[in-house]
Each structure stands twice: as C-alpha cells, then as structure tokens.
Structure 1
Amino acid sequence: MVNDELLNPNDIEESSRFGAIKTALLVVLGLLLIGLIATGILYFTNEDVKSFVNNAAAKVGISTSEKSEVESDTRVKELASFYLAMDEQRASERLYSLKQEDSKLYERILSSMMAENSAKAARIRDNISLSEMEQDVLKREYELMISEQDQDLRTMASHYKSLGIKGATLAIERELSATMDFKTVAITLERIDAPTTAKILYHMNTAYSTEIEYNFGADYSKAVSKEIDKYIEQRRQSESLASIYEEMKPDLAAVELQNQQNFNLDKAGLIFSRMNYMAAAQILSHFEDESYVSKVVEKIKELEDLDIIFEGSFSKAVSESVKVLKQYDEDVTTLATSYTRMAPADLADIIDNLTENPSAFKEYQIDDARVFRITEKEMTIEVLKRMRPVLVGQVLSELRNTDKVEKAALLSREIGIPEP
C-alpha cells in the first residue's frame, strides 16, 4: 500500500519566489558580463574609450591592469611626464623615433601620457600617425624614383647594345669625356650581359675601361674579367683561322665555316671579321643558307672596325660584295649559256680575242670606295668552266688548228683540263 504526502501550499509559494529571484540574478549577471566584455574590447581597440576609462578610474581611485603595469615602473611615468612637458612637435618627433625602435615601450609611455593628459597625448599621437603617413609616401616616392632610375639605366644599356661593340665603345668614351661619371656608366653596363661588356671594355681606351671596372660590383667585375680573358683567346684563334681560310678555295672554306656544329655564329663572325672583305664575301657567297649569311654579316657588324683601319663599314662592304658576287655568278652563267649556242669555230675566235684584252670586262660597284672588276680573260675562263666539257674541248682544238697552241695550253691549265 502506497502512502501519498500532501504538499504544503506555503512551501510551494516560497519555492516559486526563490526560482524567480534566481532567474533575475542570472539575467543581471549575464548583462554585466556582456557589458564587461564589450567594454574590454573597446578598451583595447579604441583609444578614446581607453582614455575615458583610465580617467574615470583615476577619479574614483581604481587602477586598470594596464595602468598598474605602467605605474609599476616609475621610469615610464616619468618619461610620460617628460614628453608631455615638451612642445607637441618635439614630443611627436621623439616618440616617433622611439616607436620605430620599440613599439611596445612606445605604447606603454603613450598610455601613461593619456592617463595624465589625454588631450595633449592624443594630439601628439595624431602627429605621429601623420608622420607615419608621410613616411609611407616618402618610401613610395623613393621606391618609385629608384624604379624609374633603373628603367632609365636599362634603356641606356639597351641603346648601347644596339650600337654594336664599336658604336657602344665610342658612345661611352664620348659620355665619359664630357661627364667623367664612371659610376653611372658602370651600373649601366651591369645591365648588359658580361660577354658583351667584356668586348666593349677590351676595345675601349684603357684609362676609361680601368676606371669603369673599378666601379663594378664584385660579382659582375669577376664575370667580366673572365669574359675578357676568353675573348682575348678567341681573337688569337680567329686570327690564325682567318689566315688559313683565306688561302683555301672559297667553296671548300664555305663547307667548313657554314658547319654550325664546329663554328657557332659568334666564332664564324669573329673569323670573317679578321679576313679581307672580298675573301670573306667570296666564301659567304658559297654558303647554302642565305638567311645564315645575313646572320653572319650582322655578327660582323657587331665587331666591325674594332681595331682595323677600314674606310666605311666593313660589314656593309662584305654584305654588298656578296651581292656583287651573286650578280657576277648570274652574269657568267648567262654568258656561258649564250656561248653554248655558238659553233666551236666562231666561239674559238671570240675567246681568242677576249683573252688578248687585259682591260676590265665589267665593273660591279660595291660602295663609294670599292669596285669589283673582272677582266675579259678572267670572265672567259669562268665561262669556259661552266660550259660542257665536250664543247670546251672542241674550242681548244679549233685554237690549236689555228696555230694558237700556246693559248690553248694556257686556257687548259686555267680551266683545269689536263694537257692531251
């Protein structure tokens, strides 16, 4: 059997009142907690709120944790008073420098200053913020200046490089003779690859090149010095090879020099620049790739007139001579075709007359200073070389039959036909 206890109405009423009070207390405590959190956030993120709280705390004799920390070191408080005693401009300058060195100490002193004189401290703080903004502008403008100066130097470096070795050498020497600004020239050349700079300095007046090298950075100076040594050795080798290939038959020399596996563009250009211009043109005229001929001529232009006496442009003379030789080759082929249609006896008479005349058969203008001349005898021999051997043999027989035995023998030797 279960016994049920009856509830006292007074107990129920008392319990209800206690629950309501408890709920009200929890709400109040929650609101207070929210207020404290919000105040704390504003205190640490808003200088005006921090100043207000510190002043209020000072009036009622309550110290914030930060103020307690500041007051724990009397030196900070004395410094705060010291800065507040200064005029605002001077105090701003001193504290700006301090902030650059130790931002945490700056914050501690500024907090103490705010507690002592929030209005003046705020003005000093604002002056410091303005100085920082001005410093940012100064930094930006300075960096922009450096960038623009670097771009100017790169533009000048590109200009020097576009002039070729000799052109750059002369331009730099003129610049230095006027300004003697070796430092600017040096940092300009540092924006050019070391091999090109090495060639420029090699061909420059030693008094200038030595001073320029002195103003190079250590790494670039070492790289350029190494390239100068390499260039000296390349020139020595190219002089020797140029002499060898000038003595070879042009077509045979062309076979070797157009082999880019053995002679890259730089080496080929250097060898041709050491030759006689006509010898260089004769070899280049036998190159199979005409586009490569243009590249070689351009490379010669880079090296042109560096240390040889030459009237006009060496590279242009080579280039124009190649064109002249091409035209000459076409003229010889045309003449050979024309002679092929003639009877051997008639052709023998023409050749007999042509080989007697030592005067120029034709002139090909290369430039204002140079002309390529070919005599009638030289042209005739070249024509005979292009004709069918059977017809050439018939012509030589006609010459022998007309008592021109010596002439027939001479032409045989010139053409390269063995004597019968």
Structure 2
Amino acid sequence: MPRKAAAPAEDLFAPEPGAAPAPATQPLADRLRPATLAEVAGQDHLLGPGAPLARMVTARAISSMILWGPPGTGKTTIARLLAGATDLRFEAVSAIQGGVADLRRVFDAARARRTSGQGTLLFVDEIHRFNRAQQDAFLPYIEDGTIVLVGATTENPSFELNGAILSRVRVFILNALDEPALRALLDRAEAHLGAPLPVTPEAREALIEMSGGDGRYMLNMAEQIATLAGGETQDIPSMGQLLQRRMPSHDKAGDGHYDLLSAFHKSLRGSDPHAALYYAARMIQAGEAPEAVFRRLACAASEDVGMADPQAMVQVATAWQMFERIGWPEGRLFLAQAINYVATAPKSNASYNGWNAAMAAAQRSAHVAPPMSILNAPTKLMKQMGRHAGYQYDHDHPDAFSGQQFLPDELEGQTFFAPNERGFERDVKKRLDYWSGLKARRRDG
C-alpha cells in the first residue's frame, strides 16, 4: 500500500475530515466527544508529547492494539481519532451484538479497500466478549495488514484474550480520569451549555467524586442537573434527590472483583485488620457473596498464618458455618471476628513454601522409589523382594520416634517444611529440632 508523506506535526491532531457537528439532541457526552486527540482528557501517558500513541500518529504508522481501561475513559474516541489522524477507514463492531458473519463482511470490504490504497482501522468494542474461536478470526487479517485492529476492553487482556491475539498487538492501559481531568471536563461541559451548573461548590466536588473516574457518567449526571434543576441551586442533599446515586463500582465477574479480593488478602497478610475490614465491607456493600470473602479468608488462614496459629483455620471454618446457619444481619459479626482473627494472627508461609518445595522435588524425582522398608508386603513374593524388611514401628521406641529414613535415598536429608519462630510454629520448630538431634544420635550411636 502506498504511504503518504508525513503530515506536519501541527495537523496530526486536527479534527477528522468531514466530521459534522453533533446535533443538540444528542447526549451531552456525545456532543463533547473530543474532536482531536489533544482534547482527550486524562490519558497524557499515551497521547502526550513523546507518548506511544502520539509517536504512532506522528509516524503515521498505527499498529494493532488493545485499549484496556475502565468505562468512560475514551477508548472509542481514541480509536476513531487515530483512524482520522492517519487516513484510515474507521470501521466499528461490537462483540456484544456482532458475530463472525459481521466480521467477514468487514474483512472483505477492508481487503477490497486495500487494493485501492486505503487501510482500515477496525475498532472492536468489548473484544473480550468474543470467544477464543471468534478471536482467532482476526489473526490472518492482522498478519497480512488488511486491518489495523484496535480492541477495547474493560477486562484484563491476559485473562480474556487468547495468546495468539496478544502476541500480535500492543496493550495500552487507559487510566480512570483523575480529579483534574474530570474538573477540566466539567468546565468544558459548562462552557458548552453556556452557563455554570446550578450547584454549590460542595455539590460540584461531590459530583466529580461520584463519577468514579468515568467521564461519560459524570457528563450524563451534569446534563440531568442542567435539565431538571429548573435553575435552582442544588446542594449535596438536593442533588442526591435529583440524581440516582451510583452504586459502588464492582463487577463480580471482572477486574473489580479480583482487585478487591487481592487488596483484602494482602491486608490480611500484612496484619492490618482495619484495611481488611474495609475491603470486605466494600465487597459486601457492592453485592459480593459472603462465601467469596470466606473463601479468601480460608486461603489466607492457611497460606499466610498456617502453623503459626492453627486455630485461624478453625475460626474461619466455624464463623463460616455459623454465618450459614444464622445469616444476616447477625452473620456480619461472625465474618468480622474471623477477619480480625486472621489479620492479627502470627504469620507464617512455611506450609505454603514447604508444599511448593515438595512439588518441585517430586517433579524432579518422580522416577525414584520410596525405601523398601516402608513398603507393604502383602504377598510372599513381595516379602522375598525385600519390601517391608527392617521397618521399625515408631510406637515401639522412646518418644514414639524411630528415626528411620522415609525419604528415598536420593533425597535423604532434604527438608521442605521450615517453621519459623512465630506463634505456635516456635513449638513445632523445637519439636522438629529435637527429633533431628535424636535421629542423629541414634544414627551415630
């Protein structure tokens, strides 16, 4: 495909050719959709001077990419403006509404368009909604340059997109809009409306905070206020009556779910009951099933507390059982008690590390047989082979400890469980050290 000469830098962020002004009947968010890449708010790390997407535009060489970020951060707008800035035909499909047949029509048109010298930027909204087979349909067209793929997703691409797609695209992360970006966007909205919003300064700040970093959502609320307030200045309570307050942002099947669970678990591990209670409350308030919180608690009780306080697992299991019997609202007390117990318990990951070390050793030595002495010999032939010969019944020895070797000869002396000096593991360590010394004395004596 013939390449055009590079345009002057000052023209690269110009509005799309032929773009018509949006009619006033459109939602405010659509009317304020940026006309140039320079107007996109909050994504300077991608669009600012020297940033990756700005460099692509300057070089007029857009590569296939995935735009990953929360709603209302400009993914669709950026894709459309990238196409306009590099003279690519913009085509859009939605993974929610479209299928393979729609993609084939786009691919056929793009291939025909390519013969006349024009490239195609295919924007796929919610690309993670396509299944693995549907995602594979993009591969040949990305590879031969028929399309430049720009996929948009609110979900982690590492989990939702197949490896073949990810190996052929670059992933760019869009940030939720911060307060300065939201404030600038609201200023633009007021300039477009021709008047400040009829809200008190405190209500204006509350409006920005309620948006949760979603510029489109904030503009929709601003439009409601401008339309419904009737010119009366709204304070926070009256604005709350005028608007339906947004529910906490937490997708139980998406990244919000995993982010809060991760924050909760790390707070437990870090012995911070205050943060652990907070993140658990965040999840419950947003509609998370209590079972999900209890499951994470049980994992932390084993992975991060372990033998330092074996009662942690008992506490979680008992609280979980009582929660299932009693339910809300009293059940919140069982959940809180279990959270506080795990968060404030002494910590040890010795069991976790020991299992990982044993797994690694097992993979290296899967061919190695256990000592013959500890193998059962239920038949005469097995006895003749030497199985069970020399086995020592531990209860026949002082302290119920024979000191015999149980690991294969190739692994003799290896240790996997290494308790620390915290909590109950201090006693376990003393016990293991005693047995180790006893074993050495009996071996040497």
> Bigger radius of gyration, 1 or 2?
1
Higher helix share: 1
Q: Please, what TM-score do these two structures have when normalized by structure 2? A: 0.21
Q: Please, what TM-score do these two structures have when normalized by structure 1? A: 0.22
Greater relative contact order (Cα 8 A, min sep 6): structure 1 or 2?
Answer: 2
